[in-house]
Amino acid sequence: MDTQRGIPRRPRRLRRSVAVRALFEECRIEAADLMAPLFVREGEGPPVAIGSMPGVFRFSLEGLVTECRELAALGIPGVALFPVTAPALKDLRGTEALNPNALVLRAVRAVRAAVPGLLVFTDVALDPYTTHGHDGLLTPDGQDVDNDATVAVLAEMAVLHAVSGTDFVSPSDMMDGRVGAIRRALDVAGYSGTGILAYSAKFASAYYGPFREAVGSAAAAGTRALDKRTYQLNPANRREAIADALLDEAEGADVLMVKPAGPYLDVIAELRAATRLPVAAYQVSGEYAQVHAAAQMGWLDLERTRNESLLAIKRAGADVILTYFAKDLARDLIRSGPV
């Protein structure tokens, strides 16, 4: 280094003050980027806490509507609704999924009526409705999920959701050909305006644990942990994830989603480069639980870790982020400005 002539490149010039850092900041989270996943249950009464997800609740229909009003007022554009199905309504074939008055459909109608500007997304998959907790119908020997039989049910289910007023159906089970079948069924039924946000690169992840507890799909007592590896992606496989996501695009998906988000930033970045569709990312229950658990131990700062985890997802290329932090973050953005 020629110290006489000084150091020619001084990157720290762009970091010297609050103003210069703000001016050259490459990305920023806004409430408009976020969607809140919400759990809805039968019955009345106050929100029921979920042990492994501090600050997340199972809402009654009425509580759900109140929460949605608050989220809309904070500038959150959309919510993803997840029903907690009563065990008595579950069976081997998930028949409750096709009940036109199922809890999730009543929830969609209630939210649409009370908070018209808020977008409603609903999962199209069988796991909330099956006693075995799998996302589809099992083959006769019970050893695998029957892809094509499942897809036929998903297409019917998607139409029921569209009729109830959902803005986007979200096929979340990674069955082959589901996006195309759902698109055709929606169009034939006259719902060409209903969108598809596809869980396109959904990995067989350990990070879904708290969610399965929250909705009660963690497999029947006494059975081993649910193994979804015959349909969800292998966490080791990036190429396969991109190929599968591009198939969803070809089949008519409007938005492609990567899930989980934080541990799969490389997949988000590569998918962002591979498609011109919006890319969504789902910061899942385990990612949320991890931050909260460490903060409770006094080992991590809750807000800063939360913000950094979401910024990383945005920086990787996500246009939309589903996160259980949505409400808290939107509140803090109003109170303390951009993160």
- Which residues are tagged catalytic? 202, 259
Nearer to ligand PBG, 274 or 312 (CB): 312
User: Could you give the CA distance from residue 238 to residue 241 in angstroms, rounded to a whole number?
Assistant: 5
Can you tell me which residue has the tokens 């996302």?
135
122 near ligand PBG (CB under 6 A): no
Q: For ligand PBG, which stretch binds (CB under 6 A), given 44-52, 63-71, 205-213, 301-309? A: 205-213
121 near ligand PBG (CB under 6 A): no
Among 123, 167, 249, 270, indicate the residue that binds ligand PBG (CB under 6 A): 123
Q: How far is the CB of 119 from ligand PBG (least distance, A)?
A: 17
285 near ligand PBG (CB under 6 A): yes
Among 103, 153, 284, 326, indicate the residue that binds ligand PBG (CB under 6 A): 284
- Each residue 150-189 as x (binds ligand PBG by CB under 6 A) or -, in order, gives ----------------------xx----------------
Residue whose CB is nearest to ligand PBG in the complex, by number: 211
270 near ligand PBG (CB under 6 A): no
Can you tell me which residue has the tokens 């979920």?
50
Residue 108, amino acid: V
290 near ligand PBG (CB under 6 A): no
Nearer to ligand PBG, 123 or 270 (CB): 123
Q: Which residues bind ligand PBG (CB under 6 A)?
A: 123, 125, 127, 135, 172-173, 208, 211-212, 284-285
